[in-house]
């Protein structure tokens, strides 16, 4: 008598359990990514950093990913050896990098100690952030492929949206919590110590996913040495590079994220300087952004699953981005309620684009190439995540200082005009809109199915 084998992913409980576990790891990663953002004024005031130091340190996130191609290596590891090995490696790197970054901020180095042309503290913190950035980005492509594997033919965009939403809770806490933690414990390094503990928890939780992945493999009788999903070859790179839709979505990704995440790195300082807000309140305001994405990203993902319109959703998100940064750039607009509205709208934009963009990659690229395709997109994205914060730091230091105050200990505290940086962010939004339109036109010609629903009717 024949029996019909049922994959573990056909179980809704199993699918959503896998989602929860990998989301915990990404939540911890996103928390640590932005935990230093609200501390920029304290870094300048208490540790003697400059905006140039901060911009250089922040750019370190992408050093290994961009210059050493570690995202590409991570994608090959993912496609060749699977999510278990790639994810364990990535989450381990996150812990190692976070540990070094914490050590750098918590340690008082001899005066005049230098490394890589910067103070020892800034250089070691940057090196730790670079190692962490390598790990969290490889973890990002790993989780993306995990969700495709578990949710293909099911609620894939909703699952990706929920994963992003949980990760954004980490961003929200990174905006709102650090200054309060510093106030309670009295040290700038205390928020990093808290995040480091969370990262270790995320690393340990991934072992639970490994057990689930083995059960999924057994339920589908997958031969890991020959399966199509793990059978990437270098010949497939040519197909990826020749795919015009792939490049449109990769460039849209880097331009869109370059106007959002680097903005968050400077958002607390921006609200202090333009809106004269107290530091803790200024940190709360950008924390509203991920709060909106927590609810909206899954909703928009669900819409894409059932109704389609993926390319259209990305275009709408890019239009919102241009409007928001354009209004932030107007010097006369200094209303705090308006700033709250614009941050909430930025949350809407950050919900719209990723909810449609990442599931769309799976429609453009065959599944066996997804790990490498995601890694290449993340690599392109890292050019923006590395270069734009550095650019903004240099622009602030060279062109945007309005006044300088000498503190009692002899250190200089600057006041900045953020008009030019906001115009730069608006420019990235305009370019993302251009590539969104090009992607929609390519979909019409090539039939990727970006405007079609994701959920397959059974």
DSSP per position, 53-94: HHHHHHHGGGHHHHHS-HHHHHHHHHHHH-HHHHHHHHHHHH
The larger pLDDT score, comparing residue 55 to residue 157, is at 55
Provide mean pLDDT across the span 16-38: 91
- Measured at the CA of 133, the angle between CA 127 and CA 135, to 5 degrees, comes to 110
The larger pLDDT score, comparing residue 177 to residue 367, is at 177
The band of 2, judged by pLDDT with boundaries at 50, 70 and 90, is very low
Which pair of structure tokens corresponds to residue 216?
Answer: 């999924």
CB–CB of 61/381 below 8 Å?
A: no
Q: Residue 435: what pLDDT?
A: 96
Between CA 271 and CA 100 the distance in angstroms is: 30
What is the Cα 15 distance to its own chain's centre?
23
The larger pLDDT score, comparing residue 114 to residue 254, is at 254
Residue 457, exposed/middle/buried by CB under 10 A (0-12, 13-18, 19+)?
Answer: exposed
Q: Residue 229: what pLDDT?
A: 46
| 93-152 pLDDT per residue, tens | 999 999 999 999 999 888 888 888 889 999 999 999 999 999 999 998 899 889 888 887
Between CA 226 and CA 234 the distance in angstroms is: 16
Return all residues near 171 (Cβ < 8 A) that are at least 6 apart: 30, 31, 33, 34, 264, 289, 290
Q: Residue 457: what pLDDT?
A: 57
Q: Residue 409: what pLDDT?
A: 64
Asked if residue 369 has pLDDT above 50, the reply is yes
Which pair of structure tokens corresponds to residue 67?
Answer: 């210059």
Among 423, 55, 28, 103, residue whose Cα is nearest residue 269: 55
Asked if residue 362 has pLDDT above 90, the reply is no
Q: What is the pTM of this model?
A: 0.76
| 336-345 pLDDT per residue, tens | 999 999 998 9
Provide mean pLDDT across the span 262-283: 87
Q: Sketch the domain layout of the chain as residue ranges.
A: 11-218+236-446
The band of 227, judged by pLDDT with boundaries at 50, 70 and 90, is very low
The band of 233, judged by pLDDT with boundaries at 50, 70 and 90, is low
Q: Residue 62: what pLDDT?
A: 87
The larger pLDDT score, comparing residue 182 to residue 402, is at 182
Which pair of structure tokens corresponds to residue 335?
Answer: 């209303």
The band of 410, judged by pLDDT with boundaries at 50, 70 and 90, is low
The b-or-e profile of 311-349 (16+ CB within 10 A means b, else e) is: bbbbbbbbbbbbbbbbbbbeeeeeeeeebeebbebbbbb
Find out if CATH 1.20.1250.20 is the number for domain 11-218+236-446: yes
Asked if residue 272 has pLDDT above 50, the reply is yes
Sign of CA dihedral 164, 167, 169, 175: negative
Which residue has tokens 């008082």? 108
Give backbone dihedrals phi and psi of 410, rounded to 5 degrees, phi first. 90, -10
What is the Cα 315 distance to its own chain's centre?
20
- End-to-end CA distance of the chain: give it in Å, rounded: 25
**Chain mean pLDDT for the chain:** 86
The band of 12, judged by pLDDT with boundaries at 50, 70 and 90, is confident
| 318-359 pLDDT per residue, tens | 999 999 999 999 999 889 999 999 998 998 898 888 888 888
Between CA 405 and CA 412 the distance in angstroms is: 6
Q: Residue 193: what pLDDT?
A: 96
The larger pLDDT score, comparing residue 280 to residue 28, is at 28
Asked if residue 247 has pLDDT above 90, the reply is yes
What percent of the chain has pLDDT above 70? 92
Between CA 317 and CA 431 the distance in angstroms is: 12
Between CA 253 and CA 319 the distance in angstroms is: 14
Which pair of structure tokens corresponds to residue 389?
Answer: 């914060």
The band of 370, judged by pLDDT with boundaries at 50, 70 and 90, is confident
The band of 292, judged by pLDDT with boundaries at 50, 70 and 90, is low
The larger pLDDT score, comparing residue 233 to residue 296, is at 296
Which pair of structure tokens corresponds to residue 59?
Answer: 């750019």
The b-or-e profile of 24-42 (16+ CB within 10 A means b, else e) is: bbbbbbbbbbbbbbbbbbb
Number of H helices, E strands in the chain: 18, 4
């Amino acid at each position: 008598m024949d029996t019909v084998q049922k994959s573990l992913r056909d179980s809704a409980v199993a699918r959503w359990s896998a989602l929860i576990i990998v989301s915990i790891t990404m939540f911890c990663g996103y928390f640590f990514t932005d935990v230093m953002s609200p501390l920029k004024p304290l870094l300048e005031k208490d540790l003697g950093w400059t905006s140039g130091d901060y911009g250089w340190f922040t750019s370190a996130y992408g050093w290994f990913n961009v210059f050493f191609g570690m995202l590409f290596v991570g994608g090959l590891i993912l496609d060749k050896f699977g999510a278990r090995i790639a994810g364990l490696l990535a989450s381990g790197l996150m812990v190692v990098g976070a540990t070094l970054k914490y050590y750098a901020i918590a340690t008082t180095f001899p005066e005049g100690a230098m490394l890589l042309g910067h103070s020892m503290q800034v250089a070691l913190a940057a090196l730790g952030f670079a190692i962490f950035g390598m790990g969290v980005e490889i973890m990002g492509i790993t989780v993306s492929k995990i969700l495709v594997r578990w949710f293909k033919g099911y609620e894939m965009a909703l699952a990706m949206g929920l994963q992003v939403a949980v990760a954004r809770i980490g961003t929200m806490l990174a905006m709102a919590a650090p200054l309060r933690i510093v106030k309670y414990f009295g040290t700038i390094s205390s928020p990093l110590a808290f995040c480091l503990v969370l990262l270790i928890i995320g690393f340990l939780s991934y072992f639970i996913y490994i057990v689930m992945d083995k059960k999924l493999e057994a339920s589908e009788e997958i031969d890991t040495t020959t399966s199509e999903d793990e059978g990437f070859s270098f010949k497939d790179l040519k197909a990826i590079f020749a795919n015009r839709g792939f490049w449109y979505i990769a460039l849209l990704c880097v331009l869109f994220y370059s106007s959002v995440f680097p903005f968050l790195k400077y958002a607390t300082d921006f609200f202090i300087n333009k809106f004269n807000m107290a530091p803790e309140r200024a940190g709360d305001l950008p924390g509203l952004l991920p709060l909106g994405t927590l609810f909206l990203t899954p909703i928009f993902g669900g819409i894409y699953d059932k109704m389609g319109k993926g390319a259209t959703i990305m275009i709408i998100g890019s239009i919102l981005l241009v409007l928001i940064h354009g209004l932030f750039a107007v010097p006369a607009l200094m209303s705090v309620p308006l700033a709250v509205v614009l941050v909430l709208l930025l949350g809407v934009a950050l919900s719209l684009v990723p909810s449609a963009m990442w599931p769309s990659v799976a429609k453009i690229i065959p599944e066996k190439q997804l790990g490498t395709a995601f890694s290449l997109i993340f690599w392109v994205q890292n050019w923006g995540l590395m270069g734009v914060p550095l650019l903004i730091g240099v622009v602030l230091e060279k062109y945007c200082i309005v006044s300088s105050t000498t503190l009692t200990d002899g250190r200089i505290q600057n006041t900045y005009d953020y008009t030019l940086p906001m115009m730069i962010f608006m420019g990235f939004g305009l370019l993302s809109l251009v590539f969104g339109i090009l992607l929609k036109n390519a979909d019409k010609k090539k039939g990727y199915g970006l405007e079609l629903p994701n959920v397959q009717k059974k």
